[in-house]
Amino acid sequence: MSEWLALALAMAGACLVVVVVVLVRHRKSDRDEDTSETPDVIEYITMMIGVVYAIVLGLAIAGVWESRSAAQDDVQAEAQSLHEVSARAEVFPADYRGVVEKDVDNYVSFVVNTEWHYMRTHGEISPEGTELLAKLRTDVAERAPQNDIEAQAYQAMMDKIAVADETRTSRGGNVGPTMPGVVWFGLVIGAVVTIGMLFALQIGRSRRELILAGTFSALIGFLLFLIWDFDDPFGRGVSVTTDPFLNLFPFLGS
């Protein structure tokens, strides 16, 4: 089942539950119950619960979006650093340049074609990818620069490899859900309480009221799904992509 189909079913289920509860409640309610007015204190409490929950939802969405954006920036920095290593190797002799470029190509090919899937299934970066990056560092470091131009390029290459290693480590730290379980507990309980307060307002069974109640519950369901989808930057529908590698290393797309 696709994530979008699951979202549609969840939203439809939320609407259906609210509508059914309203209809059943009115069918079984006491005929002498006065539903024409709602006490002011209930309206005030309902308003405050809605405001507080809206703030919590906003902070949660901002948090997971920031985590996803940071993960995408790390991927961009990693790809750019490796591209710079290949570019700066141009000042070296052909044999050494060929070794460096081969190491870079092997690493980025592994990341795009193998490690991305490995991260989604295992929840961590691959040890083989770490070994490939270590091999690149070793091959770059083993040749001492022969002149000033090579010395400048050599230092820049080592710096860029360090950046790639750092961003790779950060990428590994962003694999898997980033939202603490206690936050999810609060979000779910808050959704139940917020939707439940609809019944404290003595909602009626008219078509307009049922549509509004169903739409409101579906909106809460969509926002929770949005947080859940962004919570895993590499493993779900709206995930971090390999586009930075594909853009800087065109051979990966062939």
What is the three-class DSSP state of 242? Answer: coil
Domain extents in the chain: 3-23+39-253
- What's residue 204's pLDDT? 61
The per-residue pLDDT for 36 is 54
Query: pTM of this prediction?
Result: 0.78
Q: What is the pLDDT of residue 201?
A: 66
| CA distances (Å), origin 150, targets 112, 136, 138, 193, 196 | 30, 17, 17, 66, 69
Q: Is the pLDDT of residue 144 over 90?
A: no
Token code pair at residue 118: 């490995």
Q: Which two tokens mark 236?
A: 């779900």
Query: Which position has the token pair 């309610």?
Result: 29
- Cβ distance 100 to 92 under 8 Å? yes
